């Protein structure tokens, strides 16, 4: 939220030369854990579920993939598909389509154990009609002078809608900690929302192409992203204890080893605009 960001910046600016220094920490390594990263959308492109193992937190090496797992995806209309491992650790969804309101169950069998994730494709609210820009000078809220995106859209009646806006600048996904744009309708249910500001790390300039993808999220998926956002922005004197990102992958058998990650189902719609 912009407001808290502004308070944070102000605090830092006024505090007594408070500072962050990168330090070495000797973090004990734990056994690696299976990660499930997957999503099913209404888009026509190929969709995947990836399986791999966690890395020590400060390593920047590549992840060890999990091959030869058996992944079964089914929906509540009794469509079933066994996912094909198209490349090591990548399991492709080919026949099952993402449709609003359907419930999908992903079953995973690996040498670590048997797991399951269930997700119902949520409706997409606050679908952006348009993306616009406003020109802002450098200030406490805006890191530099330039263009900042705002979107307009109708929030659908009925509380409990969640979504994420993913921003692409010249087709490059913006993945800074302060560029996770999550939306919930808790306080704005059913309103037409205009000039909704999206958080970005640095301003757009003339000639940039922006694409905003709106992804509908289940409540669980929203919480998962909210946890990631908390993890990455949890600094200063008002930090909260580090949360684990809430996973929706559950063990089916008791002897299964630990698992984390998320299998999400989202309706996606995008808008784009070239800044003149």
Partner 1 sequence: MVLYKLGVLLILTTFLFTPVHAQKIITISGFVQDARNGESLVGTLISIDSSHKSSCNSYGFYSISIPAGKHHIQYAYIGYQTFELDAVFTKDTLINAKLNTLENLIDEVVINVSGWNNSNRSVHVTPLSMSSVKLLPPLLGEADLIRSFQLLPGVSTIGDGASGFNVRGGGVDQNLVLLDEAPLYFTSHLFNLFSVANPDAVMDAVLYKTEMPARFGGRLSSVLDTRLKEGNNQKWNVAGGLGLIASRLTIEGPIKKDKSSVLISGRRSYTDVITRQSSNTDISDNSIYFYDLSTKMNFSLSNHDRLFISGYLGKDKIQSAGVFMLQWGNGTGTVRWNHVYTNKLFSNVSAIYSNYQYSLGSMSEPTSSFEWKAGIIDYTLKNTYNWYPNVNNTIYFGAEVALHEFIPGNARPTGEASIFSAINIDGQRAAEYNLFWDHEIKVSDRLSMEYGLRMSAFQSIAKDSTTVSDYEGAITERKIAYNTQQFTDWESMKWYANLQPRLSLKLQINTSSAVKASYTRTVQYLHLMTNTISTSPLDMWAPSSYNIEPEKADQVSAGYFSNLFNGKYEASAEVYYRKLYNQLDFVDGAETLLNEDLPGDILVGQGRAYGTEFYFKKNEGRFNGWISYTLSKTERKINGINNNAYYPSKYDKTHSLALVAIYQLKPRISISATYSFSTGTPATLPSSKYEFNGYSVQYNAGNYRNNYRIPAYHRLDLSATFKNKTRPGKKISGEWVVSAFNALNRRNAFSMYLRQNESSPQNLEAVRFSMIGMIIPSVTYNFKF
Q: Smallest distance from the beta carbon of 79 to partner 1, in angstroms?
A: 26
Contact 192, 157 (CB under 8 A): no
| Footprint of partner 1 on 135-174 (CB under 8 A) | 137-141, 166, 173
d(CA 146, CA 239): 30
Tell me, by CB under 8 A, how many residues bind partner 1: 81
CA–CA distance, 247 with 264 (Å, rounded to integer): 10
Stretch that binds partner 1, among 53-61, 89-97, 98-106, 204-212 (CB under 8 A): 53-61
Residue 116 found at the interface with partner 1 (CB under 8 A): no
In degrees rounded to 5, what are phi and psi of residue 91? -115, 120
Beta strands in 138-258 (DSSP E): 146-154, 162-169, 172-173, 181-184, 192-197, 209-217, 250-251
Judged by beta carbon, residue 61 or residue 276, the one nearer partner 1 is 61
Cβ–Cβ under 8 Å, residues 243 and 225: no
Cα 178–Cα 179–Cα 181 angle in degrees, nearest 5: 110
- 64 touches partner 1 (CB under 8 A): no
Q: Where does this chain touch partner 1 (CB under 8 A) — which range of 49-57, 81-89, 102-110, 111-119?
A: 49-57
Residues 198-227 that bind partner 1 (CB under 8 A): 223, 226-227
Q: Applying CB under 8 A, does 77 fall inside the site for partner 1?
A: no
**Distance in Å, CB of 1 to partner 1, minimum:** 9
121 binds partner 1 (CB under 8 A): no
Nearest approach, Cβ of residue 167 and partner 1 (Å): 12
Is 187 among the residues that bind partner 1 (CB under 8 A)? yes
Tokens representing 261 are 């990650």
Least distance from partner 1 to the Cβ atom of residue 274, Å: 23
Position among 118, 156, 193, 275 found at the interface with partner 1 (CB under 8 A)? 193
Among 171, 237, 254, 276, which residue sits at the site for partner 1 (rule: CB under 8 A)?
237
Mapping DSSP to helix (H, G, I), strand (E, B) and coil, where does residue 2 land? helix
> b/e map of 218-227 (b: 16 or more CB within 10 Å)?
bebbbbbbbb
45 makes contact with partner 1 (CB under 8 A): no
- The β-bridge partners of 250 are 116
Cα(259)–Cα(252) distance, rounded to whole angstroms?
A: 11
Cα torsion 205, 207, 208, 213: sign: positive
The residues in 238-267 that bind partner 1, with binding defined as CB under 8 A, are 238-246, 258, 260-262
Instruction: Determine, following the binding rule CB under 8 A, whether residue 52 of this chain makes contact with partner 1.
Output: yes
Write the binding mask 5 to 34 for partner 1: x where contact by CB under 8 A, - elsewhere: -xx-xxx-xxxxxxxxxxxxx-xxxxxxx-
Nearer to partner 1, 65 or 74 (CB): 65
Residue 102 burial (C-beta neighbours within 10 Å; 0-12, 13-18, 19+)? middle
When asked if residue 234 is in the footprint of partner 1 (CB under 8 A), the reply is yes
Minimal distance, residue 87 CB to partner 1, in Å: 17
């Amino acid at each position: 939220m912009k407001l808290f960001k502004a308070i944070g910046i102000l605090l830092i600016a006024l505090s007594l030369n408070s500072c962050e220094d990168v330090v070495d920490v000797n973090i004990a390594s734990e056994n690696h854990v299976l990660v499930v990263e997957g999503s099913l959308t209404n888009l026509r492109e190929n969709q995947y579920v990836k399986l791999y193992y966690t890395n020590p937190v400060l390593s920047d090496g590549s992840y060890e993939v999990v091959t030869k797992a058996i992944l079964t995806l089914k929906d509540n209309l009794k469509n079933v598909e066994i996912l094909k491992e198209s490349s090591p650790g990548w399991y492709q969804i080919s026949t099952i389509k993402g449709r609003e309101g359907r419930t999908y169950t992903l079953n995973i069998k690996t040498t670590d154990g048997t797991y399951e994730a269930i997700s119902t494709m949520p409706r997409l609210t606050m679908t952006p009609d348009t993306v616009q820009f406003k020109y802002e000078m450098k200030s406490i809220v805006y890191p530099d002078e330039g263009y900042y995106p705002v979107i307009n859209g109708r929030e659908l009646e009925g509380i409990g809608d969640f979504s994420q806006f993913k921003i692409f600048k010249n087709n490059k996904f913006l993945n800074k900690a302060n560029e996770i744009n999550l939306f919930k309708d808790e306080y704005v249910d059913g309103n037409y929302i205009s000039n909704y500001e999206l958080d970005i790390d640095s301003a757009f300039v003339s000639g940039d192409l922006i694409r905003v993808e709106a992804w509908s999220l289940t409540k669980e998926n929203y919480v998962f992203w909210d946890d990631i956002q908390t993890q990455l922005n949890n600094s200063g004197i008002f930090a909260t204890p580090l949360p684990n990102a809430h996973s929706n992958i559950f063990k089916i058998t008791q002897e299964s080893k630990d698992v984390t990650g998320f299998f999400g189902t989202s309706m996606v719609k995008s808008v784009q605009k070239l800044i003149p």
